[in-house]
Structure 1
């Protein structure tokens, strides 16, 4: 997906998140993040949005930490979130496409493309949290956006030392979307997972479902039972138990 498409997705997902949070109320529990209530969700995402806005508008190239604890009281929390979300969309639209900015992961994309992608998916996953707190049906995720997010998860977060999805005996997990031409082969070992696009050789376990189901399940927002599993299903359980960040 290109930068403009990702910014559009961020804009849409942030609005949906705010709407769901406002309807649920700040004290509502978030089933997908059991330790959180909606106020915690808004505080977290609002903080991240403001942090990335600062990186872009100040042209920061070195690490600067987010600043928690800046959120207002409950009555002003959703408007505060909306303001920060709008500022981030504006900052991404106005940032220099060739600019050098700090990023939290190594990337082959431009820093601006990295942040447009990261914030679109950060906000989409937490929008699911807000809608889960509301108890309503989840807003749909377009296959192309879900496929992009699945790729980011596998080649970004789980390619780093932070990933705990590891096995003493090397195993191979296949992920296959049923509504898009998306297949990933994920090689598991005692090192971080190595994901490669395509159907690369035999797999010990295959998980299949729509791109949306794969995206949200591998981000632990849907139960693993939503996917069809064949082969050694213990690898599905391994992912569920160890893939959280």
Structure 2
């Protein structure tokens, strides 16, 4: 996907998120974010959008602190939309090759990184808002979902901060079965941060396969590892994933 595609996704998913949140009501529980109500979801994503905007617009080369805006309930929707608009505008105005702080391996230039990261941040939390509302989930584009699997596995869980650990070596394989060609990731779990490679390498203790959209939502722990997905091998590997893979 191109950077411009991620910016388009960010705007669309942000508008869908706030609409679903308003339909659900600010006091509604968010089942996929234990302890959160919808107002917490909007505050979190709105703060992250403003945080990302600062890095892009100000070309910050060191991490800024996450803002702690206190927003009254009656202004929350407008405040969220203002932040989304500012982030999309900052990314549209930024130049390719922008140098600013990023935080995932192989992030590339700042504009590409923040467009991609915020597209996925917003898409996953749009899912949360729809689940809080109790409505059917809007679809996730297949190419976006496949990219999001890659960002999660090869980006977030290649870092030392990943909490996915196993006292005995285990291998988890993830395979898409839709699209022009299958995409495969191999994740080796030990007592250290996971080692992730793209492609099929050696035997796997467990393989999770299915359409990219369902894999994306299952690996982000928004849907169960069932219902349209196939698990082969040791299902305890997936239980370990669900227990340890939440992003901090």
TM-score normalised over the length of structure 1: 0.96
Instruction: Within 5 Å, give how 1:38-187 maps onto structure 2.
Output: 38-68=38-68, 70-180=69-179, 181-187=182-188
Unaligned runs of 5+ residues in structure 1 are none
Asked whether the equivalents of residues 56 and 110 of structure 2 are also in contact (C-alpha less than 8 Å), the reply is no
Q: Distance in 2 between matches of 1:157 and 1:239?
A: 13
Unaligned runs of 5+ residues in structure 2 are none
Q: Distance in 1 between matches of 2:109 and 2:102?
A: 10
Q: Distance in 2 between matches of 1:151 and 1:56?
A: 23
Query: Residue 56 of structure 1: CA displacement?
Result: 1.2
TM-score normalised over the length of structure 2: 0.95
Query: Residue 225 of structure 1: CA displacement?
Result: 2.5
Relative to structure 2, which stretch is displaced further, 99-108 or 218-227?
99-108
Query: Residue 232 of structure 1: CA displacement?
Result: 0.9
- Say whether residues 1:211 and 2:212 are aligned partners: yes
Query: Residue 108 of structure 1: CA displacement?
Result: 4.3
Relative to structure 2, which stretch is displaced further, 212-221 or 178-187?
178-187
Query: Residue 107 of structure 1: CA displacement?
Result: 2.7
> Which string of whole-angstrom CA distances, capped at 9 and with x for unpartnered residues, describes residues 1-41 of structure 1?
11001111111110110110111111111011121000000
Q: Distance in 1 between matches of 2:134 and 2:56?
A: 35
Q: Distance in 2 between matches of 1:28 and 1:153?
A: 28
Query: Residue 71 of structure 1: CA displacement?
Result: 3.7
Asked whether the equivalents of residues 107 and 114 of structure 1 are also in contact (C-alpha less than 8 Å), the reply is no
